[in-house]
Structure 1
Amino acid sequence: MDILSFAAATGGTLITIAAFVVALSIIVFVHEYGHYIVARWSGIHAEAFSLGFGPVLVKWHDKRGTQWQIAALPLGGFVRFKGDAGPGSDKDDAAIAEMSETERRATLAAAPLWARTATVAAGPAFNFLMSIIVFAGIFMVIGVARDAPIIDEMRPVPSAIANELQPGDRVISAAGVATPDLETLMFGDFGTDAEVTYAIDRGGDRLMVTGPNPRLPVIDTVQPGAPADAAGLRRGDVISAIDGTPIGSFAQLQETVAASGAQGASVDLTVWRDGAAETVTLTPRMQDIPAGDGWEQRPLIGIAAQSFFDPATDTPGPLRALWMGMNQTWSIVTMSLDGVWHIVTGAISSCNLQGPIGIAELSGAAAQQGLGDFIWLIAVLSTAIGLVNLFPIPVLDGGHLVFYGYEALRGRPPPPRVYQLLTALGLAAILTLMVFAVSNDLFCP
């Protein structure tokens, strides 16, 4: 390996690690701050707020007596409340027994049921709230595409493809297919020719012009570790041919890749990049993807497409943006639960479950694609972490909420032996799941 290759590889690794640490730290801080602030509002005293585990690197105390600290291992965090035996919020019965009534009220263990429930639920709630606000902010910054099929900006396309379209053009039809709305223009079937004829409205004049197929295969994102990633494909590349056969649409690319991948054969892609064409060879990989009401396996190369143009956008107001942020967050929750269910039932491969290494790779890839993509991923991961913490597994927030539900129904907490047994089983389940996820990161293709 020459020095330039080593520097590139090392730089990519450092970006991946840094992006993962930044993303996880932000999400964990928001989660733990939810626990902290609601506990404070509920009269529960926090003795320590830690970002990370292990040896303390930096610490300071606020006026309420809480120690804020940053620890050496940035793989999580915790809030230690008064009366806790450690970071896991297990109560210290001996210490609590020696406290006065006023002091006991400031502990998590002896606080009213409503205060404990609110404090525990606040962590995941703040993760969801963060996602909603971040998504809303992104929608307000980048805008929301109008329903009208109006071109805003255009990306470079291969010089062999004529392009007479201009920003501001309203597309009436493409390749003879009417385009009454943006969805039709973005996802319609316009054949396989790379170059098609458009009917447009330009400043009130109806014109016939030539331009790229609306479904021209322009790469938007490359999945980390996928065949396309290994082959060096990157955002903005235009795939103009496969195995020497010209292609004009992403649908045509998908069909050809599926046919070749089903036979385990490699494919040669002609890629237009920076004004020049080059050929890359890769072998599609079978992956589980959503299909209708279920999942199916298809040969994929690991790319998502974008259009050669950006549509005209409108800037939503704060209320509309928040509503859209809520819908986006809810969509991630439902898709995640659907994926988990299909993994549990064996409908899709368990390799779809990623661990910290896989998430780190996603973070690094998003960071290299741009700040907007990285912030979007943080919001997605925040939703995922909030959801996972609500799973009814002891040691997770959801497990504590189940215990509190039992206490609300029976008028007393679960017996100590039952609590300890279920907590031990929950911890074992979490550790087993973590080992399984890391093994997926290391050994799944």
Structure 2
Amino acid sequence: MFEAPPIWFILLAFLAAIGPLVFIHEFGHYIVGRWFGIGAETFSIGFGREVAGWTDKRGTRWKVGWLPLGGYVRFTGDMDPASMGKDLDKLPEHERLRAFHAKPVWQRALVVFAGPAFNFLTAILIFAAFIMAFGSPRTPPVIEEVLAGSPAAQAGIRPGDRIVALDGEPIERFDAIADFATLRPGEQVELTVQRGSTTFTATPRLATIVEKDRFGQQSRRGQLGVGNRSVRLEPVPVLEIIPEAVSMTVRLVDATATGLWQIVSGRRPLAELGGPIKMAQVAGQVASLGPLEFVQLLAFFSINLGFINLLPVPMLDGGHLALYAVEAVRRRPLEARAQEWLFRGGLAALLTLMMVATFNDLGSIGLWQTLGRLLG
């Protein structure tokens, strides 16, 4: 078991991870806004009091805030936190022409979508670099080993069988089986199995495995109980590298969505929801393993950042996109009061989510157990 890295190393790794990803996200908004002729007043990495910054020749203030948990671009005409575009008529005419909310709704939507899109693009480029350097798993989903007493054995799966679909979704690679099972501990799943010229369906209930990682952190995962000794990384033709990287990114987005839905629907405990403290802990642990592992983690973090921001919650990019969709259908935006109430509801939801995640994070580092021992 590895020793946990020191606090200073964890904080440094967290800043090294979250800082560039937030910059990439906000730069996506910024650069697409620039293409559409929108002025930018502030580009901030972090919130709160400015600790460093400068103003460029276009008048944009680039700054770093003391609280490195996000960032923002304030475009010309963005005069309220809800980004509703009120009081545009109070701007001088030359600024009104460059105002965000004076642009067509499709341009505003592209500017907003660009942030998450740049995060996904970052992950794609990282995965493409790894595929180019090391190859990609392309082993067919053929079973070579079946663990005695496992759900697969109980369902009648044998060595030589080929799993062609999981819950009705076709698969082509062996690693897809583990990815699928990991997210579904204790759940009954449907396997479509090919044995020679015969195809049949099996419905095992996956085992629940509780295991510790090399740093002693516990996690739950599902297990089918099959193996393939031939799993390896294979070279990928140059023209297939980007499509392969896109496919990996899509699979991870799907896994993120599945995990979140399981928490929302009660199939996974709310205690598995993590926040910034957990991210910092993971960043420090992975950074201590080496630069390649850390860069790979950046891809996972980038996907999570892009995905979370696309959720249809006011204040997040997805919430703005939902409002723009309504505006496009109605040919006019929602009334300011309705947007304000949606903004307040979104803020309350995000604060609640942050409190729950922070509570879980503090538990994951043993704070509640320590307090219990002290008070007991």
Equivalent in 26, 29, 32 of residue 38 of structure 1: 32
Counterpart code for 1:400: H
Distance 1:365 1:411, change over 3 A: same
CA radius of gyration, larger in: 1
* Alpha-carbon distance in 2 for matches of 1:83, 1:190: 62
**1:298-317 correspondence to structure 2 within 5 Å:** 298-303=208-213, 311=232, 313-314=234-235, 316-317=237-238
Q: 1: distance between equivalents of 2:186 and 2:288?
A: 27
- Which residue, 270, 295, 303 being the options, matches 1:375? 295
Could you say which residue in structure 2 is the equivalent of 1:189?
A: 145
Q: Distance in 2 between matches of 1:290 and 1:360?
A: 29
1:67 to 56, 61, 82: 61
Residue 89 of structure 2 aligns to which amino acid in structure 1? A
Matched letter for residue 34 of structure 1: G
User: Any conservation in 1 of the 2:82–2:340 contact (CA below 8 Å)?
Assistant: no
Whether the 8 Å contact between 1:78 and 1:88 is mirrored in structure 2 is no
Equivalent residues in 2 for 1:285-304, closer than 5 Å: 289=185, 293=189, 298-303=208-213
Q: 3-state SS of the aligned residue for 1:289?
A: coil
Provide, for residues 56-88 of structure 1, a one-character-per-residue CA deviation record: whole Å limited to 9, x for no partner.
122122222211112222111110111222566
Would you say 1:106 and 2:26 are equivalent positions? no
Q: Cα–Cα, structure 1 residues 190 and 421, in superposed 2: closer, same or farther, change >3 Å?
A: closer
Tell me the residue number matched to 2:254. Answer: 334
- Aligned to 1:401, what secondary structure does the other structure show? helix
- Equivalent residues in 2 for 1:251-400, closer than 5 Å: 289=185, 293=189, 298-303=208-213, 311=232, 313-314=234-235, 316-317=237-238, 319-400=239-320
Structure 1's 88 and 418: CA in aligned 2 closer, same or farther, altered over 3 A? closer
Sort the Cα spacing of 1:296 and 1:21 in 2 relative to 1 into closer, same or farther, 3 A: farther
Q: Deviations over 1:335-388 (max 9, x none)?
A: 111111111111121112111111111111111111111111111111111111
Q: 1:110 to 1:22 in 2, by over 3 A?
A: same
Structure 1 CA distance, aligned partners of 2:274 and 2:352?
14
1:272-320 Cα shifts (integer Å, max 9, x gaps): xxxxxxxxxxxxxxx973756499673422249x999995742542x32
Q: Separation in 2 of the partners of 1:70 and 1:131?
A: 24
Distance 2:146 2:345 in 1: 56
Counterpart in 2 of 1:160?
none
SS of the residue aligned with 1:374?
A: helix
1:80–1:87: 8 Å Cα contact kept in structure 2? no
Q: Does 1:79 align with 2:73?
A: yes
Return 55-64 or 76-85, whichever deviates more. 55-64
The CA deviation at 1:144 is: 3.1
Return closer, same or farther for 1:58/1:289 CA change in 2, 3 Å cut-off: same
Distance 1:46 1:290, change over 3 A: farther
Q: CA deviation at 1:46?
A: 0.5
Residue of structure 2 equivalent to 1:121: 113
Mapped to 2, the partners of 1:330 and 1:51 lie a distance apart of 27
Whether contact under 8 Å (2:311, 2:319) holds in the other structure is yes
**TM-score, normalisation: structure 1:** 0.62
Structure with more of its chain in strand, by fraction? 1
Instruction: Return the alpha-carbon distance in structure 1 between the equivalents of residues 38 and 254 of structure 2.
Output: 34
Corresponding residue for residue 234 of structure 1:
none
8 Å contact from structure 1 (residues 56, 69) kept in 2: yes
RMSD over aligned Cα, in angstroms? 2.9
In the TM superposition, residue 109 of structure 1 has moved relative to its aligned partner by 1.8
Distance apart, 1:189 and its partner CA:
2.6
Aligned residue number for residue 428 of structure 1: 348
2:321 to 390, 401, 422: 401
1:144–1:316 CA contact under 8 A, matched in 2: no
Q: In 1, Cα distance between the equivalents of 2:109 and 2:346?
A: 19
Equivalent residue number for residue 172 of structure 1: none
Q: Distance in 2 between matches of 1:191 and 1:97?
A: 70
2:77 touches 2:91 (CA, 8 Å); kept in 1? no
TM-score using structure 2 length: 0.73
Q: Which amino acid aligns with 1:302?
A: K
Equivalent residue in structure 2 for 1:91, among 82, 85, 92: 85
Q: Distance in 2 between matches of 1:330 and 1:18?
A: 29
- Kindly indicate whether the alpha-carbon contact (under 8 Å) linking 2:185 and 2:209 is maintained by their aligned counterparts in 1: no
For the structure 1 residues 106 and 440, does the alpha-carbon distance in structure 2 shift closer, same or farther, using more than 3 Å as the test? same
Structure 2 unmatched runs, 5+: 149-182, 191-204, 215-226, 367-376
How far does the alpha carbon of each residue in 1:167-187 deviate from its partner, in whole angstroms, 9 at most, with x for none?
xxxxxxxxxxxxxx8x77xx7
Query: Structure 1's 364 and 293: CA in aligned 2 closer, same or farther, altered over 3 A?
Result: farther
Q: Which residue of 1 aligns with 2:171?
A: none
Measured in 1, the distance between the counterparts of 2:246 and 2:305 equals 16
Alignment partners' CA distance in 2, 1:98 and 1:190: 71
How many corresponding residue pairs?
303
Structure 1 segments unaligned to the other structure (5+ residues): 1-7, 148-180, 193-286
1:151 is matched with: none
Q: Distance in 2 between matches of 1:130 and 1:346?
A: 32
From 33, 45, 54, the counterpart of 2:48: 54
